[in-house]
Amino acid sequence: MFQKVSSILLLIFLTLTTTEIQAGKNVNSVFGVGYAVPGYAEKVSEMGARWVKIPSVCWGRIEPTPPQDGKHFYRWKHLDGLIKEYQNAGFHIQIVIKSACPWGTKGFASPPESWRRSYPPKKEHWDDYYQFVYNLVERYDGDGYRDMPGLRYPIRYYEIESEAQHHIFWAGTVGEYCQLLKTAYKAAKNAHPETKIILAGINFGSLFDDNPSPEDLMRKVGSLPKKYRREMSFIRETLAMVNYYDVVDYHYNRDYTGAYSAVKWLREEMKKYGCQKEIWAGDTASVPWITDVKYGDILKILMNPSHPHHRKVSKWFRAEQAKLSVKKIIVAVGLGIKKVILESIRDFPSNAYTGVHRESWFLAGFFNEDKTPRPVFYAYLQLVKKLENFQRVESLLRNGTYIYRVIFPDRKPMYIVWSEGKNRRIRLDIGCSHVKLEKVITSETGKPNVITMKVKEDKVALSIDSTPVFVECVDEKAVGEDERVNTLSDVKN
């Protein structure tokens, strides 16, 4: 009997140890996705993502009624189920906390914005908000005290609201948000000191899309309508709260070329206060930013399966989604961003929020309605495999051509190259005599187009376009006689 019990305990120990080892590996991964929805964890894990964002964990949903005689009544069932599903599939989790609460805050929005817009707590309920955050962190901190049953490993990262600079998401003042941030920070750190607080996601809109110089940026901000100047002031004032957050969340949903100056601006702002916090790229839009103002016809075609051009436009849209996702992740990692949360696991429902059909964001799902993968699924997995065990990504920009060098500890560098606007021809000093060229997958077949080739004098000549190409050194034995060419002209999607 003792031997049987000992064997069971040993098996449990080995299982938990393996889980923790894997969790330790995953926690440093740059690859994340959003938003977590039930029933998709296993499918999304096949993409290679290791982080997932759970949005809108609202105070009023977890605590739908006020405390009675000082006792709080929390409903954890739905959140527990979602966390278990994604942890069992190998994900680490980021949670977005929202103060939306019908009884506890100064206001509560009408549907469909009810849980999308947050208000500050009423004066008499600030301590109740503190208790909500404290108990939320306590339940998922993995310290063995009042933890969720079945918790696989701790949840450490909590974002306090999302895009609070926009009135549609935060109905209070910047001062009230700062008070909320302080309250949440203190509650979370008291629950577990290793908890990390993420500042409400920052969305600059199109401000940095043309990669402005500092002088041009000042002129642009000065000419903005009052509403947008107020939002920039809100961002600056909350960034100044450096003692009450650990991570800055840059919402990376417009042109990826704007990331260079946006990230630089964020770091310069933090430098004013003597710190450099980690930057994450949350809400990274995987699709081209198409709105009904400029590209209404395209949106109408995408939303209408019976349109004669629907198939053609959808094919283009999904190919662009695959290419753009790879570009955004590479650019972000090259800028030193620690996590990239790519959106979205599935398309948004048609009633998700007001004006949902006015922008392409709601069509950013990685899967079709029947859960079959779209091209972005395969492109993402392809990139995850290519970057396995990488040390850093270096940017070697050249005249509208994007060249990134990926450094590994145990093999020669890999290059990722593409161009925008027109096709270009480049030469890379690759440092080896044989290379493999592989374009990013842009079709639903999920199969990459690969060619291996011999090069002269350790240099490879490439004709490139807007589809990124991976360039890797390979052993001479991997090259066939019929594959010894020196351009990409035969590599087609």
In tens digits, what is the pLDDT along the chain, a chain of 493 residues?
434 334 433 433 444 444 444 455 578 999 999 999 999 999 999 999 999 999 999 999 999 999 999 999 999 999 999 999 999 999 999 999 999 999 999 999 888 788 899 999 999 999 999 999 999 999 999 999 999 999 999 999 999 999 999 999 999 999 999 999 999 999 999 999 999 999 999 999 999 988 888 889 989 999 999 999 999 999 999 999 999 999 999 999 888 999 999 999 999 999 999 999 999 999 999 999 887 677 778 988 998 999 999 999 999 999 999 999 999 999 999 999 999 999 999 998 877 777 777 888 899 999 999 999 999 999 999 999 999 999 999 999 777 899 999 999 999 999 999 999 889 999 999 889 899 999 999 999 999 999 998 888 888 989 999 999 999 999 866 555 444 444 343 333 3
Is residue 472 within 8 Å of residue 414, measured between CB atoms?
A: yes
Is residue 153 within 8 Å of residue 207, measured between CB atoms?
A: no
CA dihedral 110, 114, 118, 119 (to 10 degrees): 40
- Whole-number Å distance between alpha carbons of 226 and 459: 53
Q: How many CB atoms neighbour CB 429 within 10 A?
A: 9
- Whole-number Å distance between alpha carbons of 341 and 42: 17
Q: At what angle do helices 174-191 and 126-139 cross, to 10 degrees?
A: 40
pLDDT in tens, 444-454: 999 999 999 88
Is residue 47 within 8 Å of residue 380, measured between CB atoms?
A: yes
Is residue 455 within 8 Å of residue 434, measured between CB atoms?
A: yes
Intervals of CATH 2.60.40.1180 along the chain: 394-483
CATH number for region 394-483: 2.60.40.1180
Is residue 31 within 8 Å of residue 50, measured between CB atoms?
A: yes
- The alpha helices in 199-291, defined as continuous H runs, are 214-222, 226-239, 259-271
Intervals of CATH 3.20.20.80 along the chain: 29-390
Is residue 434 within 8 Å of residue 475, measured between CB atoms?
A: yes
> Tokens in use for 302?
């995408």
* Alpha-carbon separation of residue 471 from 100, 166, 404, 440 (angstroms): 49, 42, 10, 11
Q: What is the pLDDT of residue 398?
A: 72
pTM for the model: 0.91
Q: What is the pLDDT of residue 195?
A: 98
* Alpha-carbon separation of residue 200 from 166, 238, 248, 319, 477 (angstroms): 11, 9, 8, 31, 52
* Alpha-carbon separation of residue 65 from 68, 132, 136 (angstroms): 9, 12, 16
DSSP string, 348-384: PPTTSSTTGGGBGGGG--SB-TTSPBPHHHHHHHHHH
- Whole-number Å distance between alpha carbons of 340 and 49: 10
> What architecture does CATH give domain 29-390?
Alpha-Beta Barrel (3.20)
Amino acid at 217: L
- Whole-number Å distance between alpha carbons of 45 and 29: 13
Q: What is the pLDDT of residue 23?
A: 54
pLDDT in tens, 130-147: 999 999 999 999 999 999
- Whole-number Å distance between alpha carbons of 411 and 152: 34
Return the H-helix or E-strand segment holding 436: strand 434-439
Is residue 460 within 8 Å of residue 486, measured between CB atoms?
A: yes
